[in-house]
Amino acid sequence: MVFDNLEEIENLSLEEKIKRVNPKNRFRLVNTLHRSNMMLNPLNLKHLNRIDSLKADAVTLNLEDAIAPVRKKEALINIALFLSSLKETKSEIIIRVNPINSGGKEEIEFLKKFCFNAVRISKVASKEEISEALDILPEDKELHISLETKEAFRDLSFWEIGDKRFRRANLGILDLLADLKLPQSLLKLNNPTINYILSKFLTDCKIAGIEATSFMFQDYKDLDGFKDFCILERKIGFKSKACMGPAQAEIANRIFAPSVQEIERAKEIKRAFEDNAKKNINGFMHKKYGFIDEPVYKDALNTLSFCEKN
């Protein structure tokens, strides 16, 4: 728990909370596998108070569409207060701000001195918005985006920035369907339109040089449905999914984790290729894994790179 006496915090006025804010507070930031990305509402202090013990690989504190306009300042101050008192965390900490020109810029300016991993901008529609955010963001923080507009869906593959801070895109599929004027009723397992959106989003992220997180499954009680989508998305190539609650996070962590067999295969391919490369042999037959050449070696390195994060 961040605060032992949460009732005391709940009874503070906004002005009293502001007096307790301390942007100089620092804790060790973790860099995880990012299999699960769990959304938290910063107006729910009981949920926010567990941010140091959640088992999700990443936790996103949401300032955008779940927060009514009249309460956005309260949510922002709550985030600042908890970041001011956090001593440790098992998850990456991401803050989802409003669109860059609808409050997001000011939210980044306010939060940028605090300790957290990344800012995530909502409803990005142009490459220029990404550049604008990077101009504000400190060098030690990543930039993520929410892909929720038809413009972003069309252009993402052309958004390679050349800045290592731009690291990840998150698929906001309900907003995207609305912007495309497609019904949400399409959002079913193995619907061809949804499969196309998932595949295009993932490959466009890879072309742009960033990682991809698939959409949030809204029916948090339907764990079987969530699991089925995770299995499908892993087959497509995803390694990460947005989550609503700890139960979804546990499922995502399990499904998107590389298996023992995958890790053993990658390690052996790496060892065998590097041993043969010293003899100027870049293509050879392996008794267990068949023909190995440079593309197979690179695939093994990608697997190991994903696994070697803390």
Is residue 264 predicted with pLDDT exceeding 90? no
* 105 and 92 part of one domain: yes
Nearest CA to 197 among 219, 231, 171, 216? Answer: 171
Q: How many domains does the chain have?
A: 2
Instruction: Give first-to-last CA distance, the chain, whole Å.
Output: 22
* 155 and 292 part of one domain: no
What is the pLDDT, as a whole number, of residue 309?
57
Element (H, E) at 8: helix 6-10
* 181 and 291 part of one domain: no
* 91 and 234 part of one domain: yes
What is the pLDDT, as a whole number, of residue 46?
96
* 175 and 241 part of one domain: yes
pLDDT band (50, 70, 90) for residue 275: very high
* Angle value at C-alpha 95, between 137 and 141, nearest 5 degrees: 35
Range of the domain at 249: 6-256
Instruction: Tell me what the mean pLDDT of segment 71-82 comes to.
Output: 97
What letter would DSSP give residue 265?
A: H
Q: Does 206 reside within a domain? A: yes
Q: Does 137 reside within a domain? A: yes
* 156 and 276 part of one domain: no
Cβ neighbours of residue 206 closer than 8 Å, sequence gap 6 or more: 212
pLDDT band (50, 70, 90) for residue 66: confident
pLDDT, tens only, 85-114: 999 999 999 999 999 999 999 999 999 999
What CATH number should be reported for the domain holding residue 113?
3.20.20.60
* 301 and 226 part of one domain: no
pLDDT, tens only, 157-214: 999 999 999 999 999 999 999 999 999 999 999 999 999 999 999 999 999 999 999 9
* 119 and 231 part of one domain: yes
What is the pLDDT, as a whole number, of residue 310?
43
Main-chain dihedrals φ then ψ at residue 21, nearest 5 degrees: -70, 135
| Cα(142)–Cα(235) distance, integer angstroms | 27
* 227 and 266 part of one domain: no
- What are 208's two structure tokens? 């742009």
Count of C-beta atoms within a 10 Å radius of residue 291: 9
pLDDT, tens only, 106-152: 999 999 999 999 999 999 999 999 999 999 999 999 999 999 999 99
* 47 and 143 part of one domain: yes
- pTM of the predicted structure, to 2 decimals: 0.87
* 205 and 293 part of one domain: no
* 246 and 294 part of one domain: no
pLDDT band (50, 70, 90) for residue 301: confident
Whether the Cβ atoms of residue 75 and residue 17 lie closer than 8 Å to each other: no
pLDDT, tens only, 4-50: 999 999 999 999 999 999 999 999 999 888 999 999 999 999 999 99
Q: Does 68 reside within a domain? A: yes
Q: Which has the higher per-residue pLDDT, 138 or 264? A: 138
Q: Does 1 reside within a domain? A: no
Q: Which has the higher per-residue pLDDT, 112 or 304? A: 112
Is residue 299 predicted with pLDDT exceeding 90? no
